Amino acid sequence: MTIDHQPPVYLTFGLHAHQPVGNFDHVFEEHVSRVYEPFLDRAEALDFLPVTLHLSGPLLEWLEDHRSDYLDRLARLVAQEKVELLLAGYYEPILPSLDRQDRIDQIHWMQEALRSRFGAEARGLWLTERVWEPDLAADLAGAGVSYVLVDDRHFVAAGFSRDALHSPFRTESSGRSLGVFAIDEQLRYFIPFQPPEDTVNYIRDLRASGRRLAVAADDIEKFGGWPGTFEWVYEKGWMERFIRAMKEMEATGEIRIATFGQALRELPSGGPAYLPSAAYREMEEWALPTEAYHRLARLKEEMGEERFTLGDAPLVRGSHWRNFLVKYPESNRMHKKMMALSTLCRDRGDPKEARRRLGRAQCNDAYWHGVFGGLYLKHLREEIWENLARAEGILRADEGLTWEERDVDLDGHPELWIHSHAFSALVSPIRGGAVEELTLFAEGVNLADVLTRRREPYHELREGGEEEGQEKDEGEEQNHTPGGDAEGTPSIHDLEEELRFGRPPPVDADDRALFVDRVLSGDVTLDGYAEGRFQALVSWARTALYLEEADLEGDHLVLSFAGPGPGGFRKELRFREDGVLTVRYRWDPGAFPDEALFTTELSLGAAARVRTDPPAELWRHPVSTFSKSEKGFDETVQGESVTVRWPVRLGEGTVHLARGAEAGEPQQESEHPPGG
């Protein structure tokens, strides 16, 4: 009889549960019934414990208000040391995107919540979107964090071999050290999409080669929340088979099911590791501009999928996470406004309610776009802007109307930041004096919150002219997993690869804002205009205007701009202290063809009243985007384009924009319904 003296492999099983700030109640409810409860039911029934769990702050708050019994159940398991809880930034921010004190505040909020609700002193941290930057180590250690979870590709990108990553490591910054666990990408793709036998064989191979640690950690939503997974994981019995297989390995001494804290204490360290700035592979790809994304896709095809995903891929990388802020100026605008208000908040004594509002506005989901809607989901962006509005309203409660010249979005071009106790606005001289933000504090809305229509990689046609999304031949394999459901189920990334658009949707020539000014030919049709199929005779959308004068006139601030080019263009923005905005134009009619029209386009993200003097023709059309989600393509109405059109021969015109009805001279009106 052969005696097995090989020590067991520590299997650490971590789960991340999150719903973003502002998500719909029915989404929370669905995930409780189809993911959070079923997983816990089976884990308890079959004694697949201990597990390590992270619940985000927005999810904790919703559960406390709607399903406190679930939290009571977790508290019992925590007390029995059957569940280890993880920290993170409370409102699930990407920590490197915040300044140092904001990072620490977010972690302290989570520590306090876990301590008060569960009696837990959590020491490990789930790193949101696994976005790592080296200076995090000092801040995390200083906040009381003992270890953090990152992807194994972070190590491989630093030159480590994957075979050497089956130990807890140490990293440091400024002399402050913490443990680092490398999440095993192979296990991330096996669980739960492949048969349990694949995981069994993989762990046995690790043990045979003397490895001591297997790290499985990922989103809990893949256990019932992603398409097809509820049927596969629960109804077809994957989870029962998986747990029984792991328990059999535990009974034979092949594995020990352990928490990360136990593994950190009981396993020898792998030594020091200094990791580069990194995120998970798909996120780095999504951050690429469309053309660069296609170049990487061609390289991936040349390398082969297996070599790319498990071999040399970390050395052939996509983009830095922060380049979402380049790819999507709307994201950058939210982010830099949040950062500016955070600084203002500290300068003004850091009032608690304003600080919490800013914390909520740091929730990561609305700042980027990948396989889920993210930035494209209007209700998530609206929640960010509402929290920014409420915070700024508190901070400026006693402030009069004023303005400052400041590069708020840090793009190298100064904006004009106008604000009072009632509103905040950003005017961009480099964009023809367009209004990029008009936030009304009492209503909690940014009237300019409309996403620009852009070309995404999945909008493209197939090479050779075949349309993306064209149906496959009957005999062509539809499932990336050999054998179909009998052998496995597609992951969300497999499904993502199948999503292709049949007919590319419209793309905007210019980024959307309020008061984007052009002269159009008389033969431009509304349909062509709405589809973005037009060429302006003259456009000030990307023309720098010169600020001639800025005057405070009672409860009004008047900004007077002059522009280059034909027509002696003049633009005057008159902001009232309550946020009502009047824009007056003058131009030389003789500089343009007789049949031309002077136009200004307002992309409105919330209900507003548009009045013109003299009366003008108003073109209106919804601004819709088409984006990927876990269920396919989503069409989202981001808002409405309202374009004022005057015959160029008039030489002047005025537009009055207000949230509700305003008294004044009789003028043409256009009611704009909220974008949905």
What's the one-letter identity of residue 356?
Answer: R
State how beta strands 83-85 and 213-219 pair.
unpaired
* Positions of E strands within 2-102: 9-17, 51-55, 83-85
In contact, 644 and 600? CB cutoff 8 Å:
yes
Residues 6+ apart with CB under 8 A from 673: 607, 640
SS3 224: coil
DSSP label at residue 509:
S
In contact, 644 and 593? CB cutoff 8 Å:
no
What's the one-letter identity of residue 74?
Answer: L
In contact, 152 and 129? CB cutoff 8 Å:
no
SS3 150: strand
Main-chain phi, psi angles of 93, to 5 degrees: -80, 160
In contact, 130 and 154? CB cutoff 8 Å:
yes
Main-chain phi, psi angles of 594, to 5 degrees: -60, -35
What are the Cα distances from residue 41, in Å, to 47, 114, 115, 373?
10, 22, 24, 30
DSSP track, 402-420: EEEEE-TT-SSS-EEEEE-
Count of CA atoms in the C-beta half-sphere (13 A) of 613: 10
Count of CA atoms in the C-beta half-sphere (13 A) of 175: 0
What's the one-letter identity of residue 350?
Answer: D
Among the listed residues 129, 133, 184, 510, the single catalytic one is 129
Is 235 considered catalytic here?
no
DSSP label at residue 481:
S
Among the listed residues 219, 494, 662, 669, the single catalytic one is 219
Is 218 considered catalytic here?
no
Q: H or E stretch including 61?
A: helix 57-66
Strand-pair partners of 570: 562, 586
Q: How many CB atoms lie within 10 A of CB 637?
A: 15
Active site residues: 129, 219
